[in-house]
């Protein structure tokens, strides 16, 4: 063996040693990489688990997944209530400008839909080669490698993690799948905790709102204030853009309609004072059925009359009846979110029903307190009427008899005439006092409440819609001389007149005068608003004029030079 052969033999062990050293180094690097990756995974799990705000937790999950598998793009799609489409989509790696150019977020077609239908890890070396590939919209960045992993919360698939474009141009491997699946398990726990925390906070907010409403009612607030508080709190807690409260127009069996008394939020003025039929609106359907009625897009809902337009820019909506059971439905709360916001879920509707039930109890307490106050007032009126009848009238009558007797002894003609005129004045005064006594002693008979009480109630119910209390003056024997069928027309005309002022007049003052002389009843409603527009809708005025014609009466409208409108509606009631 020459020298060259010996040198070659000596180099062979050296080469094997170098190979072993390189393999050992590779294994050490792999172990170190695995250790670092496990450490990163633990840090990601801890980071995600610390979040109690659901939105922040979802954002942390996407960011952690992108870092763990070294992906350029990452996204988390939340599956909607229907289980077939995505209701939320969070992204990492795409700028706001790119998102704006791409357009609306995906709903769950193509590969994303494949993961929804088959919630199992999916790893692809090239997205476009999969049979379910749907393609990308214009301006979307190119994507080839793909890794999708479902996120489960308990036994339900909450959503999916989507990762694309592993840096270095290599495909995702099995270890990437394992790491991402482990993160998804932790993410499921974190999401569940965040949702439970969010639900507990939401329940706390509803409880505080219920307590606030009850305290407001018990401390003496009027019903209008309680309804306004109900609308405000429901709108705030549900993240709605609009909240409205409607109550039935009495008697609901005859009117078949609701009137919106309270509206807060977007385009509230377009809703306040509206008269809504029971079968052409969400609120009417909820009232008639006594159950919540939801809409995915209230702007284009075929169940809602498009006139007048009042839901521009609004999407999901729900109408919740206030009160059920023996007490009956007392009204309806409508909540509407902006377009693009999530629809109202069944769970939200159930929570709102509970809130509405508490609101119904609060309204019941307010009405009972008002009834107690009215009873106290009526008792005081009884005392006043009794004193007027037993003391004032008798003394006036005795004084009149004395003057009449004394007149026979007066020889001066002019003095005698003055005494007779004084006797006539006393007779007229006695009639006025008796009319007042009839008014004070007005009671609910077999045919229902008297016209005076009904007019007072209509004026009071109109105050929240108007934004101020209209003045009310009544004269004559309204409860005794005006027949019930005529009184029903008077109440309907008064309600329609005040509603028109609230919707169209833009007034800050209104007055109502209701009087009868025994031959006719006259209702005068005036305001200081902008008057009746020449081309405005006159269906309400037409109905009022038709009521007057049916009863042989008339409707007169005047607009004073200083502004406003005066409506006079009169019908005969026969001789007294």
pLDDT band at 103 (very low <50, low <70, confident <90, very high): confident
Q: Using CA atoms, how far apart are residues 258 and 25, in angstroms rounded to an integer?
A: 81
Q: 510-516 and 554-558 as β-strands: parallel, antiparallel, unpaired? A: unpaired
Helix 223-238 and helix 174-218, axial crossing angle in degrees, nearest 10? 170
Both structure tokens of 24: 């050992």
Q: What is the mean pLDDT of the chain?
A: 78
Q: How far apart are CA 337 and CA 573, in angstroms?
A: 51
Q: What percent of the chain is modeled with pLDDT above 90? A: 9
pTM check: above 0.85: no
Contact between 462 and 247 under an 8 Å Cβ cutoff? The reply is no
The string of DSSP letters for 13-24 reads HHHHHHHHHHHH
Residue with more model confidence, 171 or 480: 171
Residue 569 pLDDT: 94
Give the contacts of 279 (CB within 8 A, at least 6 positions apart).
285, 288
- φ/ψ of residue 51, rounded to 5: -80, 130
Q: What is the pLDDT of residues 70-81, one digit of tens each?
A: 889 988 888 776
Residue 263, classed as helix, strand or coil, is strand
Summarize the confidence of residues 262-280 as an average pLDDT.
Answer: 83
| Candidate ranges 5-9, 161-165, 384-388; pick with highest mean pLDDT | 161-165
Neighbouring-strand partners of residue 513? 473, 524
Q: Output the six-digit token pair for 251.
A: 């008697």
pLDDT in tens, 484-525: 889 989 998 998 899 888 888 888 889 999 998 888 999 999
At residue 188, does pLDDT exceed 80?
no
Say whether pLDDT at 223 is over 80. no
Taking the C-alpha atoms of residue 342 and residue 350, their distance in angstroms, rounded to an integer, is 16
Q: Report whether CATH 2.60.120.380 matches the domain 445-576.
A: no
Q: Which strand ranges, in their side-by-side order, compose the sheet holding 471-475?
A: 471-475, 510-516, 520-527, 565-572, 554-558
Strand partners, 166: 71
Token pair for 266: 């977007």
Most confident stretch, 32-36, 528-532, 569-573 = 569-573
Q: Pick 39-197's CATH classification: 1.10.10.10, 3.90.550.10, 3.30.450.40, 3.10.180.10.
A: 3.30.450.40
Domain layout of the chain by residue ranges: 39-197, 445-576
Residues with Cβ within 8 Å of residue 514, at least 6 apart in sequence: 451, 455, 472, 473, 474, 475, 478, 490, 494, 521, 522, 523, 524
Instruction: Band the pLDDT of 567: cuts 50, 70, 90.
Output: very high
């Amino acid at each position: 063996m020459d020298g060259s052969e010996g040198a070659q033999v000596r180099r062979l062990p050296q080469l094997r040693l170098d190979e072993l050293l390189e393999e050992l180094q590779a294994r050490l690097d792999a172990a170190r990489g695995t250790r670092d990756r496990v450490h990163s995974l633990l840090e990601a799990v801890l980071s995600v688990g610390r979040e109690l705000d659901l939105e922040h937790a979802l954002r942390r999950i996407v960011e952690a997944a992108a870092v763990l598998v070294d992906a350029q793009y990452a996204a988390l799609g939340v599956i909607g209530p229907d289980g077939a489409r995505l209701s939320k989509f969070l992204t990492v790696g795409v700028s706001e400008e790119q998102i704006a150019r791409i357009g609306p977020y995906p709903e769950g077609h193509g590969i994303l839909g494949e993961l929804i239908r088959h919630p199992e890890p999916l790893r692809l070396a090239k997205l476009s080669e999969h049979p379910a590939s749907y393609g990308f919209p214009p301006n979307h960045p190119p994507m080839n490698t793909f890794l999708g992993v479902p996120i489960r919360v308990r036994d339900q698939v909450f959503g999916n993690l989507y990762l694309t474009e592993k840096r270095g141009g290599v495909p995702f491997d099995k270890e990437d799948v394992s790491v991402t699946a482990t993160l998804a398990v932790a993410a499921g726990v974190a999401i569940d905790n965040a949702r439970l925390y969010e639900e507990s906070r939401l329940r706390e907010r509803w409880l505080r709102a219920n307590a606030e409403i009850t305290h407001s009612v018990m401390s003496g607030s009027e019903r209008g204030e309680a309804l306004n508080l109900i609308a405000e709190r429901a709108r705030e807690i549900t993240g709605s853009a609009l909240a409205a409260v409607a109550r039935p127009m009495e008697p609901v069996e005859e009117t078949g309609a609701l009137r919106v008394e309270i509206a807060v939020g977007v385009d509230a003025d377009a809703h306040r004072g509206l008269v809504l039929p029971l079968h052409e609106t969400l609120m009417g359907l909820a009232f008639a059925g006594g159950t919540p009625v939801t809409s995915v897009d209230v702007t284009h809902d075929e169940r809602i009359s498009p006139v007048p337009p009042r839901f521009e820019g609004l999407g999901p909506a729900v109408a919740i009846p206030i009160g059920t059971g023996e007490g009956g439905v007392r009204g309806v709360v409508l909540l509407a979110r902006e377009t693009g916001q999530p629809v109202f879920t069944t769970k939200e509707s159930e929570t709102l029903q509970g809130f509405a039930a508490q609101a119904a109890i609060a309204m019941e307490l307010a009405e009972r307190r008002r009834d107690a106050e009215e009873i106290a007032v009526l008792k005081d009126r009884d005392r006043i009427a009794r004193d007027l009848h037993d003391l004032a009238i008798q003394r006036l009558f005795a004084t009149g008899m004395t003057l009449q007797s004394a007149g026979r002894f007066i020889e001066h003609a002019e003095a005698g005439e003055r005494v007779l005129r004084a006797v006539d004045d006393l007779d007229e005064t006695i009639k006025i006092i008796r009319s007042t006594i009839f008014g004070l002693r007005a009671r609910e008979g077999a045919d229902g409440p008297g016209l005076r009480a009904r007019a007072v109630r209509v004026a009071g119910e109109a105050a929240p819609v108007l934004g101020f209390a209209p003045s009310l003056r009544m004269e004559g024997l309204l409860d005794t001389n005006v027949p019930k069928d005529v009184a029903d027309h008077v109440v309907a005309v008064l309600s329609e007149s005040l509603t028109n002022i609230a919707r169209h007049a833009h007034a800050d003052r209104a007055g109502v005068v209701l009087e009868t002389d025994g031959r006719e009843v006259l209702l005068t409603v005036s305001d200081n608003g902008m008057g009746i527009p020449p081309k405005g809708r006159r269906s309400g005025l037409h109905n009022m004029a038709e009521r007057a014609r049916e009863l042989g009466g008339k409707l007169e409208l005047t607009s004073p030079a200083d502004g406003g409108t005066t409506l006079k509606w009169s019908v005969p009631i026969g001789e007294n």
